[in-house]
């Protein structure tokens, strides 16, 4: 276990070296988060405006009674919810494609900029759009299963969702680099997943654990400050978690791109060591 974590930590550092070479890649997750928040806000307003208000619920308080308003969903509310969910999927998928495009340019010897990364992803926008629609559709189906079934159905939906997320982890790099459609990208990602499954898939968990190690010192310091100066400590905590989350998102995109390149060619891209990738994702014996 210690050896596997050491390998993951080395891969984490290799991804960090890529990010240091192209710090602008860290801007992409920030832009993704801002655009996602805008979509969520617009969807929230749409859900509120399309809901049917009804009054008559009376709540007792010390001074008497007050009348509260309840809201119930209308058919249009569900339409707004679905459209908003799909729009959010499109935003997340496109910015993931932008990050992969920038990382791929650097790992193949280029010197990416935000403009070049966005331009490369924009060329694949039709494919990324179709992929995001597929992902959103599957997500809506799984959510419907959860809402309409008991514990067993909820468990099955969660397992299916987790399995699909793992199997399709390389789909966005496939789309950005190869330009394939959603179904071909799904098949290609699944085939690459078989190559990179190996006996050490735990390395992916180790990569997440490496991120936790980076976050832990800030959490401890923020907790200590909160004990003395609650407001200052809370601001520090939010800022630190936001910063680390952005960095981890960028590093994950770089890592995913490197893994795709290794799975496709059998050769480690620049900044990554061949033996590390072989050790972490070698073919199953």
Identify which of 2-6, 31-35, 217-221, 225-229 has the greatest average pLDDT.
31-35
Query: Given pLDDT bands bounded at 50, 70 and 90, which one contains residue 123?
Result: very high
Query: Given pLDDT bands bounded at 50, 70 and 90, which one contains residue 200?
Result: very low
Residue 190 has pLDDT above 90, yes or no: no
| pLDDT for residue 72 | 79
- Tell me the mean pLDDT in the region 157-168: 83
pLDDT > 70: percent of the chain = 85
Question: Which of 274, 97, 264 is closest to 194 using CA atoms?
Answer: 264
Helix or strand (DSSP H, E) at 160: helix 151-167
Q: How many helices (H) and strands (E) does the chain have?
A: 11, 2
| pLDDT for residue 9 | 74
- Tell me the mean pLDDT in the region 79-94: 93
Residue 59 has pLDDT above 60, yes or no: no
Residue 211 near residue 244, CB atoms below 8 Å? yes
Residue 66 has pLDDT above 70, yes or no: no
| pLDDT for residue 113 | 92
- Choice between 24 and 153, residue whose per-residue pLDDT is larger: 24
Residue 18 has pLDDT above 70, yes or no: yes
In the chain the first and final C-alpha atoms are separated, in Å, by 19
Residue in this structure with the two tokens 């680390």, named with its chain if needed: 244
Q: What distance in Å separates the CA atoms of residue 48 and residue 8, rounded to the nearest whole number? A: 45
Residue 282 near residue 195, CB atoms below 8 Å? no
**pTM attached to this predicted model:** 0.83
């Amino acid at each position: 276990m210690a050896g596997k974590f050491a390998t993951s930590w080395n891969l984490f550092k290799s991804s960090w070296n890529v990010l240091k070479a192209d710090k602008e890649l860290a801007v992409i997750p920030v832009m993704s988060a801002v655009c996602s928040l805008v979509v969520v806000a617009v969807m929230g307003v749409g859900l509120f405006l399309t809901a049917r208000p009804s009054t008559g619920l009376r709540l007792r308080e010390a001074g008497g009674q007050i009348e509260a308003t309840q809201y119930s969903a209308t058919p249009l509310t569900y339409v707004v919810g679905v459209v908003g969910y799909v729009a959010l999927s499109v935003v997340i998928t496109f910015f993931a494609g932008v990050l992969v495009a920038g990382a791929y340019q650097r790992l193949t010897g280029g010197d990416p900029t935000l403009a070049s990364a966005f331009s490369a992803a924009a060329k694949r926008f039709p494919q990324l759009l179709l992929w995001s629609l597929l992902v959103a559709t599957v997500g809506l189906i799984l959510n419907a299963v959860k809402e309409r079934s008991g514990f067993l159905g909820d468990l099955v939906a969660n397992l299916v969702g987790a399995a699909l997320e793992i199997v399709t982890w390389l789909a966005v790099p496939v789309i950005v680099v190869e330009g394939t459609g959603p179904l071909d990208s799904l098949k290609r990602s699944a085939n690459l997943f078989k190559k990179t499954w190996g006996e050490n898939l735990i390395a992916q968990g180790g990569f997440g654990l490496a991120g936790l190690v980076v976050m832990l010192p800030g959490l401890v310091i923020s907790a200590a400050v909160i004990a003395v100066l609650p407001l200052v400590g809370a601001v520090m905590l939010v800022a630190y978690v936001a910063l680390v989350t952005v960095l981890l998102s960028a590093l994950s995109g770089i890592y995913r791109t490197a893994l795709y390149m290794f799975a496709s060619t059998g050769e480690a891209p620049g900044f990554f060591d061949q033996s590390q990738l072989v050790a972490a994702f070698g073919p199953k014996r």
